[in-house]
Amino acid sequence: MHEHHSALGLATALRNADSGVAIAKLSPVQPVTLIRPHAATRAARFFVEKFPGRTLYAVKANPSPELLQTLWDAGVTHYDVASIAEVRLVARALPEATLCFMHPVKAEEAIREAYHTHGVRTFSLDTIDELEKIMRATGDATDLTLCVRLRVSSEHSKLSLAAKFGVDPAEAKALLFAARQAADALGICFHVGSQAMTPDAYAQAMERVRAAIVEAAVTVDVVDVGGGFPSVYPGMEPPSLEAYFAVIHRAFESLPISYSAELWAEPGRALCAEYSSLIVRVERRRGSELYINDGAYGALFDAAHIGWRFPVRLLREPESEVRDHPFSFYGPTCDDLDHMAGPFELPADVQAGDYIEIGMLGAYGSAMRTAFNGFGSDETVIVADEPMASLYAEADERLSSNVVTL
């Protein structure tokens, strides 16, 4: 973790740093990623103990092997994989884990390898063509869990996932019936979109599940509510996760399904957003624009391309007493698109040479990184301080129970 080359020979000093301020004092030239295993552990235990069903980690949110191990150690045993590369990664890192191939459109070769080489038995689909592909690739296997993905609304989420996948309501009956004939266990899944800001998103989607089950008149063994569970960002403060769990549990209990049916969820962002943050250096200030050494082609892809606002703080001692001012960021590449509009609220006296911590980058930040234009850094440091925002800060003090109070 700490043996990577450091331009200033700071690897040993970084290893001993325990917070962003301590690292900033060492004046690193390249961005430094801070990881907080304790935060990921806390989030995983929260879901394992409180979600009224099975938790599958959505690997795409952050495929770090270290994070996968942390989640496994905290009790997450099932993993939502979306590509054969993710299948191989998790199978190698966690050979005892259960893998669920939840991308609705897969290469036939990927299905074949997943089933025959890695023991994957759960697959999602949203067309008859995909069902036929799965059956061919698995040799008409009789031990499959097949999850039909329904198209549901993303109106309550910050990022829509309603356009690309999901069977149309008019075609759901035929697909569910065909999948029921082929499957050992039949599931229905959906995705309400990323960063769902109200539990109503799941309540509405579960009504769509109810209608599909009634219309198709099939026995359903699994209901998978997908991802979309939120984290905390500036201007995006969702209700407690317990509120989401209560709504989901109530809706699940009212479905026309057997007593033995299972409830699944696929959190990604909610399990890993608090896991890491990033320390960047200000290389130039131009009015309200700060030129920093990471950006759109690094960990700040979402800040640039979808206008996501992340929490920020100036790492300076003594702390600035100047009033905050809204800033935008430019990243280090030569591309004008390497721009993060923000606004990011920082003390108005921030200047070149200052260091800034950008928080809540555990979800998708690391996964989106490139080395475009020769910029990037692999320097990673484990720290023990708290993330800049949290939905779990008091989780250890709450009742550890898998029973949701309704």
As annotated, the active-site residues are: 334
Q: What are phi and psi of 143, to 5 degrees?
A: -120, 30
Q: Is 217 left (phi over 0), alpha (psi -120 to 50) or beta?
A: left
Q: Provide the CB-side half-sphere exposure for 28 (13 A, CA).
A: 34
Task: Determine the angle formed by the axes of helices 65-73 and 37-50, rounding to 10 degrees.
Answer: 40
Residue 248 and residue 206 in contact, taking contact as beta carbons nearer than 8 Å: yes
- DSSP string covering 142-196: SS-EEEEEBP---TTEEE--SSSS-B-HHHHHHHHHHHHHH-SEEEEE----EEE
Q: Which one-letter DSSP state was computed for residue 233?
A: B
With b for 16 or more beta-carbon neighbours within 10 A and e for fewer, the 359-376 pattern comes to bbbbbbbbbbbeebeebb
Residue 56 forms beta bridges with which residues?
Answer: 78
Ramachandran quadrant class, 285 (left: phi over 0; alpha: psi -120 to 50; beta: rest):
beta
Give the residue carrying structure tokens 């191990």: 69
Cβ atoms 98, 75 nearer than 8 A: no
Spatial separation of the C-alpha atoms in residues 354 and 344, rounded to whole Å: 15
- Plot region of 73 (φ>0 → left; ψ -120 to 50 → alpha; else → beta): alpha
Cβ atoms 290, 282 nearer than 8 A: yes
Provide the 3-class DSSP secondary structure of residue 379: coil
Rounded Cα gap, residues 357 and 347, in angstroms: 13
Output DSSP code: residue 300. T
